[in-house]
C-alpha cells in the first residue's frame, strides 16, 4: 500500500491541489472523481460475430450475440488446438547450412533460396489451428420476434459483464453474462417478467465436429477429441487433444426437463447457467497429457461454482475484475456522445465526427481484452485473436506469430497497469526454450534456443509456412523485449533472475553462435529476412526475401544484448559470455540511411518489392526499441521519412500496421500525426464491436492502439519520464490516472488547453525520479510509497 502522506513539493502545489479537489475543476485528480461509465452498447442484436461482445477470464471466452428468439453464445477454451507436438526441424538443415550461407554471402541468392527451401523449411510440414469450442444456443420460444421493443445490449468494461434486455408482449426478458476468473466458470443469469415465466426455453450446446453432447444430471456434457486426418495435409494424422465442457442450470425456480441433448425450461422467472470447459493440454510439456481428465475438470469447476448463489458469483467476479480495470482511468472529454449506440458512434466517426470519448473507450477496451485473454486462470498468452475464435480453421490458425503480432499484444501490458497479464507470456517463453534448444542445435549447430516467425501451443520452433514467410531465426530474440520490459516497469528481481533472464540469456547464446563474419569482417545473421518484405535483387531484377544481416536483426540484437549487459551491471556478474556479447556488439553492421533518405531495410540499399509494405521492421529501433531517438537526429528524421515513404505507396493498410505507425509517431513526438493515424485506425480497421480488423479480425491492432494512446501521454524508455510527449489538439483538456512508468512509478496527469496542470506520482520503488515536460525537467529523490505532486511548470 502506498504511503498516502502527501509530500509537499511546494506550498503552491498543495494549495493548488486542494483548491481543485473542492472546486471540481478540470485539474482535479481523477482518483477522487467518480469513475466514468465504460460501456459498449447497442440497440440491436449482433448481426454477425463481429458485432457480438466478448467476455473472458484469461482462459474461457464467449461472444455474446444478444439475438432475440434464438440466442447464440459462441464459446472458447484457450488451449483447444488441432495438431500435436511434432519436431518440425528439417533434418538436413545443419549439413546444408554452410553452403546456404556461402551462397547468400557470395550473392547467389537464387541458388540459396532453392537450397533453403529444400533443407531449412520445416519437415514435416505442419500447420494447424486454434479451434472454437462451440456454441450455446438458447431458444426463448418467443412466438413473434418482431414484436420486440426496448432492446438494449451492452458490455460493461468495468464490471466485465455483458447484458441483453428487451420487451415482448409477454414481458421483459433480460440476461447477463460474465466469465469469472475467481471461479473459473462462465455464468449466464436470465430473468423474465412474463406472467407464466419461461415457456419452452430450450438450451443446446453444439460443436460442428469431433464431439458428442449428452444431457445428464440436470446439465449438458460435451465430450470431444480432435481428430486430424491424413487428407487434411496439415500434419500427422491421429486422435489428438481431448476436451470437454459442462453446462448446468442452477438456482432455477421452474421445471427443468432433460431431452437427449437439450435442456428445456418451463415456468419460473430466473435461471442461472454455469459453464466450464477443459482440455488435456499441459503447458510445461507443450503437449497433451493422458493423465488429465478434461471431463472431470469441467464437472468439478461447475460443481464448485454451484455452491454459490448467482449474486455471490457475480460479486466475486466484479470484486476481482473492477479493481483491475479501475487501476487506469482516462478522460479525453466529449462524453456527450456516450448516449449514442457504439456501432453508430463508430460509423459517425468514420464519417468525420469528432469523438475523443470513443477513443478513450477504445483504449480501455484494449485493456479489457488483454485482461480477458492473458491472465490466470489461463496459462497461455493472448494469441492472434486473444482467446475469441469462432472457426475450426481460423485465419493464420489464430496462432502465435512472433514477427510483430504477439509482441504487439503485450505493448500495453505494463504501461496500462496490467502487470499480471505478462505472466502467461513468461511461462510460454520458458516452455518454448525446450523445443527451441533442439532447433538451435539441430538446424544451426548452435547453443541456446531459437524459434522462427510463428508457433503454436505445441511449441513448434522450426520454419513454418514456407521460406518466404518463416526464415526469421530471431523471432524468439524479439520476444525477449516484453519479458525484460516487465522487469523495467516492476523491478521485480525474482521475475528477472528466475524467469526472464535465463530465457534471455539462452536467446543471446543462440545469437552468438548463429552470427557469422561477412567479407567486411562484420558479424551478421544469415540466413534471415526482413519480415515479410521482399527486395529486388539488382543482378536479376527478381524478388527475394532470404538475405543476411537485415536491419531488424541488428536492432533486435542491440536491444537484447543491451538488456543482458544492463542486468550484469546491476548484479555485478562477470563471465566470458558477457565479453563475447560486448565484442559482438562492436562488430555488428551499422544501421544506415539509404540514397532515398530512409533507413535501409536491408544491409544493401535494395529497392523494396513493396515500398508500401505493412511491416516496417527497420524502424524497430524507434519503437518498440530505444536506439532511434531525438538524440540521434539524423536517424530520427530518416525514420520519419521511412514512414512517409510507406504511406506514399499505400502503407498502413492493416490494423496492426496502423497501430504500429501511431506508436512510431508518438515516439517521433508528433502529436498530430499520431492522432491522425489513430483516427484512421478507428475509421479503417475497427469492427462494430471495436475489435481490430486486419481484415479479418486480429486482436494485435487493439493492443497496439491501446499502447499508442499511453505512448502519446507518457513515455519512459529514455531513462526519464516524459509527460504528455505527443498530446494532440483534439484532446486539449483531459486527465489520465494510473499509468505506469519504468522504474515502478505510477502516474496521474491532468491537463487543460494542452498544458499540463497537475501530475501526481506514486513511487513504488523509492528510486530517483526524473520528469520532463515541454523542455522543463525536475529531478527528485523519492522513498518507497511516497506520493509527489507537481503543478504547472513541474513546480
Backbone CA torsion sign across 485, 486, 492, 493: negative
Shortest Cβ distance from residue 51 to ligand FUC (Å)?
22
- 401 contacts ligand FUC (rule: CB under 6 A): yes
Instruction: Report 243-282 residues binding ligand FUC (CB under 6 A).
Output: none
Restricting to residues 601-660, which ones interact with ligand FUC according to CB under 6 A?
614-615, 654, 656
Least Å from the CB of residue 16 to ligand FUC: 47
Distance, in Å, from the CA atom of 439 to the CA atom of 563, rounded to the nearest integer, reads 24
Question: 102 by DSSP, 3-state: which?
Answer: helix
71 belongs to the binding site for ligand FUC (CB under 6 A) = no
Q: Are 777 and 721 contacting, i.e. CB atoms less than 8 angstroms apart?
A: no
Q: Is the Cβ–Cβ distance between 370 and 423 less than 8 Å?
A: no
Q: Kindly state the smallest distance separating residue 125's Cβ from ligand FUC, in Å.
A: 17
Q: Of 51 and 532, which CB lies nearer to ligand FUC in the complex structure?
A: 532
Site for ligand FUC in 679-708 (CB under 6 A): 694, 698
Number of residues that bind ligand FUC (CB under 6 A): 12
Taking the C-alpha atoms of residue 408 and residue 479, their distance in angstroms, rounded to an integer, is: 10
Contact range with ligand FUC by CB under 6 A, out of 197-205, 368-376, 396-404, 701-709: 396-404
Name the one range near ligand FUC by CB under 6 A: 102-110, 397-405, 713-721, 770-778: 397-405
Distances (CA, A) of 412 to 421, 673, 709, 718: 10, 20, 9, 17
Return d(Cα 188, Cα 263) in angstroms, integer.
15
Nearer to ligand FUC, 535 or 720 (CB): 535
- CB-hemisphere CA count at 13 Å for 324? 24
532 binds ligand FUC (CB under 6 A): yes
Task: For residue 452, state whether it binds ligand FUC (rule: CB under 6 A).
Answer: no
Of 264 and 464, the one with the shorter C-beta distance to ligand FUC is 464
302, 216 Cβ separation under 8 angstroms: no
Among 342-350, 399-407, 518-526, 747-755, which window interacts with ligand FUC (CB under 6 A)?
399-407
Residue number with CB closer to ligand FUC (677 or 694):
694
Residue span binding ligand FUC (CB under 6 A) among the ranges 82-90, 400-408, 580-588, 719-727: 400-408
> Cα separations (Å) of 92 from 108, 115, 442, 526, 537?
20, 10, 9, 17, 27
CB of 727 to ligand FUC, least distance (A): 30
Burial of residue 290, with CB atoms counted within 10 A of its CB: 0-12 exposed, 13-18 middle, 19 or more buried? exposed
- Among the residue ranges 57-65, 395-403, 708-716, 736-744, the one whose residues contact ligand FUC (CB under 6 A): 395-403
What is the secondary structure of 25-57 as a DSSP string? -TT--GGGSPPPP-EEEESS--SSGGGSEEEES
Taking CB under 6 A as the binding criterion, the range among 207-215, 398-406, 660-668, 723-731 that sits at the site for ligand FUC is 398-406
Minimum CB–partner distance for residue 693 and ligand FUC (Å): 11
Between 361 and 707, name the residue whose CB sits nearer to ligand FUC: 707
Q: How far is the CB of 36 from ligand FUC (least distance, A)?
A: 32
Q: Based on the shown chain and the rule CB under 6 A, indicate whether residue 384 belongs to the binding site for ligand FUC.
A: yes
Quote the least distance from Cβ 346 to ligand FUC, whole Å: 22
Instruction: Between 384 and 508, name the residue whose CB sits nearer to ligand FUC.
Output: 384
What's the chain's length in residues?
795
**β-bridge partners, 535:** 544, 608
- Cβ-contact 693, 687 below 8 angstroms: yes
Q: Which of 112, 97, 94 is nearest to 547 (CA)?
A: 112
Distances (CA, A) of 306 to 160, 249, 273, 735: 20, 9, 10, 42
Whose CA is closest to 553, among 582, 594, 510, 521?
510
Dihedral angle sign, alpha carbons of residues 669, 675, 677, 681: positive
Distance in Å, CB of 2 to ligand FUC, minimum: 40
CB nearer to ligand FUC: give 396 or 665.
396
Question: Is position 786 an interface residue for ligand FUC (rule: CB under 6 A)?
Answer: no
What's the rounded Cα separation, in Å, for the pair 149 and 168? Answer: 7
CB of 613 to ligand FUC, least distance (A): 9
Residues within the interface to ligand FUC (CB under 6 A)? 384, 396, 401, 403, 405, 532, 614-615, 654, 656, 694, 698
Amino acid at each position: 500500500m502506498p504511503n498516502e502522506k502527501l509530500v509537499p513539493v511546494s506550498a503552491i502545489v498543495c494549495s493548488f491541489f486542494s483548491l481543485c479537489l473542492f472546486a471540481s475543476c478540470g485539474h482535479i485528480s481523477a482518483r477522487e472523481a467518480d469513475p466514468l461509465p465504460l460501456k459498449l452498447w447497442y440497440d440491436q442484436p449482433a448481426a454477425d460475430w463481429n458485432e457480438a461482445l466478448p467476455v473472458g477470464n484469461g482462459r474461457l471466452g464467449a461472444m455474446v450475440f444478444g439475438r432475440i428468439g434464438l440466442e447464440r453464445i459462441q464459446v472458447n477454451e484457450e488451449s483447444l488446438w488441432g495438431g500435436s507436438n511434432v519436431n518440425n526441424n528439417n533434418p538436413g538443415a545443419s549439413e546444408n547450412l554452410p553452403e546456404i550461407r556461402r551462397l547468400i554471402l557470395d550473392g547467389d541468392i537464387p541458388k540459396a533460396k532453392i537450397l533453403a527451401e529444400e533443407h531449412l523449411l520445416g519437415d514435416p510440414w505442419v500447420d494447424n489451428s486454434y479451434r472454437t469450442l462451440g456454441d450455446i444456443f438458447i431458444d426463448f420460444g418467443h412466438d413473434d420476434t418482431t414484436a420486440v421493443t426496448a432492446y438494449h445490449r451492452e458490455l460493461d468494461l468495468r464490471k466485465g459483464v455483458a447484458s441483453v434486455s428487451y420487451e415482448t408482449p409477454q414481458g421483459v426478458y433480460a440476461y447477463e453474462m460474465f466469465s469469472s476468473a475467481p471461479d473459473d466458470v462462465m455464468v449466464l443469469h436470465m430473468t423474465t417478467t412474463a406472467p407464466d415465466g419461461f415457456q419452452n426455453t430450450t438450451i443446446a450446446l453444439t460443436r460442428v465436429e469431433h464431439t458428442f453432447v449428452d444431457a445428464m444430471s440436470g446439465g449438458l456434457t460435451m465430450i470431444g477429441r480432435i481428430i486430424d486426418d491424413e487428407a487434411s495435409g496439415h500434419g500427422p494424422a491421429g486422435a489428438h487433444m481431448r476436451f470437454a465442457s459442462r453446462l448446468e442450470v442452477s438456482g432455477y425456480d421452474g421445471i427443468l426437463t432433460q431431452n437427449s441433448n437439450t435442456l428445456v425450461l418451463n415456468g419460473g422467472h430466473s435461471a442461472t447457467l454455469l459453464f466450464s470447459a477443459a482440455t488435456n493440454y499441459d503447458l510445461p510439456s507443450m503437449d497433451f497429457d493422458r493423465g488429465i481428465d478434461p471431463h472431470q475438470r469441467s464437472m468439478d469447476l461447475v460443481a464448485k461454482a454451484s455452491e454459490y448463489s448467482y449474486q455471490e458469483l457475480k460479486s466475486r467476479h466484479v470484486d476481482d475484475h473492477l479493481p483491475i480495470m479501475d487501476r487506469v482511468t482516462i478522460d479525453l472529454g466529449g462524453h456527450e456522445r456516450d448516449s449514442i449506440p457504439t456501432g453508430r458512434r463508430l460509423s459517425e466517426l468514420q464519417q468525420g465526427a469528432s469523438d475523443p470519448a470513443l477513443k478513450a473507450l477504445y483504449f480501455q477496451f484494449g485493456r479489457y481484452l488483454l485482461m480477458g485473454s492473458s491472465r490466470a486462470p489461463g496459462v497461455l498468452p493472448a494469441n492472434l485473436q486473444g482467446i475469441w475464435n469462432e472457426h475450426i480453421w481460423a485465419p493464420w490458425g489464430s496462432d502465435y506469430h512472433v514477427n510483430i503480432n504477439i509482441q504487439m499484444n503485450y505493448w500495453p501490458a505494463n504501461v496500462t497497469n496490467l502487470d499480471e497479464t505478462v505472466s502467461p507470456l513468461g511461462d510460454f517463453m520458458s516452455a518454448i526454450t525446450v523445443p527451441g534448444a533442439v532447433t538451435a542445435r539441430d538446424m544451426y549447430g548452435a547453443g541456446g534456443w531459437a524459434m522462427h516467425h510463428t508457433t503454436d501451443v505445441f511449441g513448434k520452433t522450426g520454419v513454418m509456412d514456407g521460406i518466404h514467410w518463416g526464415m526469421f531465426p530471431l523471432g524468439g530474440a524479439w520476444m525477449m523485449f516484453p519479458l525484460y520490459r516487465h522487469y523495467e516497469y516492476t523491478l521485480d528481481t525474482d521475475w528477472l533472475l528466475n524467469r526472464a533472464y535465463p530465457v534471455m540469456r539462452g536467446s543471446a547464446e543462440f545469437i552468438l553462435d548463429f552470427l557469422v563474419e561477412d567479407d567486411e569482417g562484420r558479424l551478421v545473421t544469415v540466413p534471415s529476412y526482413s519480415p515479410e518484405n521482399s527486395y529486388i535483387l539488382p543482378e536479376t531484377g527478381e524478388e527475394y526475401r532470404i538475405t543476411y544481416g537485415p536491419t531488424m536483426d541488428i536492432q533486435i540484437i542491440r536491444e537484447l544484448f543491451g538488456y543482458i549487459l544492463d542486468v550484469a551491471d546491476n548484479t555485478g556478474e562477470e563471465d566470458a559470455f558477457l565479453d563475447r556479447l560486448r565484442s559482438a556488439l562492436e562488430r555488428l553492421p551499422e544501421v544506415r540511411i539509404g540514397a532515398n533518405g530512409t533507413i535501409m531495410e536491408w544491409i544493401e540499399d535494395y529497392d523494396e518489392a513493396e515500398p508500401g509494405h505493412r511491416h516496417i521492421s527497420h524502424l524497430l529501433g524507434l519503437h518498440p526499441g530505444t536506439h532511434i531517438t531525438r538524440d540521434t537526429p539524423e536517424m530520427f528524421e530518416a525514420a520519419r521519412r521511412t514512414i512517409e515513404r510507406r504511406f506514399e505507396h499505400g502503407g498502413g493498410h492493416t490494423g496492426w500496421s496502423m497501430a504500429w505507425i501511431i506508436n512510431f509517431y508518438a515516439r517521433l513526438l508528433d502529436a498530430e500525426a499520431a492522432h491522425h493515424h489513430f483516427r484512421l485506425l478507428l475509421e479503417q480497421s475497427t469492427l462494430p464491436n471495436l475489435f481490430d480488423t486486419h481484415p479479418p479480425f486480429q486482436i494485435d491492432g487493439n493492443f497496439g492502439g491501446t499502447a499508442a494512446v499511453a505512448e502519446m501521454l507518457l513515455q519512459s524508455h529514455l531513462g526519464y519520464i516524459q509527460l504528455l510527449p505527443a498530446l494532440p489538439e483534439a484532446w486539449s483538456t483531459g486527465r489520465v490516472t494510473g499509468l505506469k512508468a519504468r522504474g515502478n512509478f505510477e502516474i496521474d496527469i491532468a491537463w487543460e488547453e494542452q498544458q499540463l496542470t497537475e501530475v501526481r506520482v506514486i513511487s513504488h520503488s523509492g528510486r530517483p525520479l526524473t520528469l520532463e515536460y515541454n523542455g522543463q525537467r525536475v529531478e527528485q529523490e523519492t522513498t518507497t510509497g511516497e506520493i509527489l505532486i507537481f503543478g504547472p511548470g513541474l513546480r
